[in-house]
Structure 1
Amino acid sequence: MTTTGSTLVIGATGTTGSRTAAQLTAAGHRVKAASRQATPVTGAESVPFDWYDPATHAAALDGVDRVYLIPPLGDSDVAAIMLPFLHQARTVGVHRAVLLSSSAIPEGGPAVGMVHQALPDMFEQWAVLRPSWFMQNFTGAHAHAVSIREDGIIWTAAGSGRVGFVDAEDIAAVAVRALTDDHAPNTDLVLTGPETLSYDDIAVIITEVTGRPVTHRRLSYEQMRDRLTALMPVEFAAMLAGMDRAIAEGSEDRTTDTVQRLTGRPPGGFRTLLERETRCSS
């Protein structure tokens, strides 16, 4: 794809943003890496950006023709925050937008689903990435990873429901294709890993790979909601607990060929990722 401007990567120090910025710069694309502290990102121009501070938006958009959008975390009404920025982006010449959403949230659904619904009318080229749950939730700073490290427990209301957990590296690879290919897909893309796993399966794999006993503790929807409320606003906690309940009912028991189709290689599996990260940390 021939480009005249830079790609703005919002959340460039986060789980998918950091990987997307790194893969774009490695491929020779110009990147503006946006984060609240303007944290330096190798090969990119780092700029301050805060969804809740419109004074940071104009400078971040200067010279940009594409944008990777990561919604503000923990906000149940992200459309109210994001849509004014997207109107501004379109006005200054951004023509392609790639939005990170979730496999659990359809177009027009709650929170980021409303931004998904608005995107096609705002940009001539667009894509919505709807990944399943991140594999890195069990290895990074997510609440699951913290409870695994501190207590050897994964707490969910997902029961025996299965999820097509996906590697953030694969999400980033699809994001890069959606941002740079000559023909943007102009569609939503559900991303999964190569297989579905229950949280019981995840606990077994972590135990086998790391040698540390990990168990899955099953909570009710109400127990999970109340547990999450200690960490985030109650509306967002209720939404996440509801997603667990939907998993228990089979909503995420699926795999797709999106990663293979867009990147030309199969998605990575959870055991492979965990073995890689265990080796790197040892």
Structure 2
Amino acid sequence: MDGVISSGIIEHVIPYTDITVSRVIFSLALLVAGLVLVKLLVRIFRRGIEKTKLPALTTQFLGHFLKILLCVVVVLIFLKSLGFDVDSYVVGLSAVIGLVLGLGMQDTFTNIAAGVWVAAIRPVDTGEMVTVNGQTGKVKSVGIMSTELLTPDNQLITIPNKLVWGSSIVNMTRMPTRRASVDVGISYNSDLEKAVKIAMDLMKGYPPVLQDPEPSVVTTELANSSVNLQLRAWAKTGDLMAVKNYLTAGIFEAYRREGIEIPFPQMDIYIKESKETRKEIMEIQTANSGIRAYE
């Protein structure tokens, strides 16, 4: 008797539909099995593709794309098993997509297409430090819709792929070597030749500075208060910041030790006024260093 009752419940038709309980159970089991299979297939795919020479960024993108595609197939199979007319749903979905595109969702598909190009051409790669669309950070991931950057102060920036592909990209770590540039000004009374020699000795005496290309010092400007020099030293990309920090602090200490003056901006004011005005200006001169008044 219990078996007859159980069989009757399973074959019971859900109200307002022609779907039986047994079909719902079968479809749900099929859905769960399909999702588990998708997870397994994606894992196998990623392991297989990791053995190739494709970059990590490309394998990550392809893994996400395959997972979404397989999930859509599983959902369609699930609906088909329930007796729904999947073909009509596909046609209806196409119509909806057309309507959505007309309402401005073309950006979604633009981002997907841009993501494919970014993953294929690889102007950026995972772990590289880049500047994209005015934002600077280390590439954390490139997804189907967007690219994620992690800034040096640990902020996560998400940029739509169409902006990544459609803007200039500065890749700061792609090349094996880079040039560190440090600007410094010396007074017009200082010995220029001596200042250049001190800077060259400083760069040549620091091991992380490469000797090929050879470091150099150039005069960049005859400014209002100083003769501006620029120290140019090549280093491995990973040593760039250390080299720049060393040269910035080192040139200051070296010039101070050798008597090379690094001036601060100053302004000369010539005044031809009454004695009262001159007295006020002299008081201002006393209170503010760097401003000299002449009668």
Larger proportion of helix: 2
Larger RCO (CA within 8 A; separation ≥ 6): 1
> TM-score with structure 2 length normalisation?
0.19
> TM-score with structure 1 length normalisation?
0.20
Select the structure of larger CA radius of gyration. Answer: 2
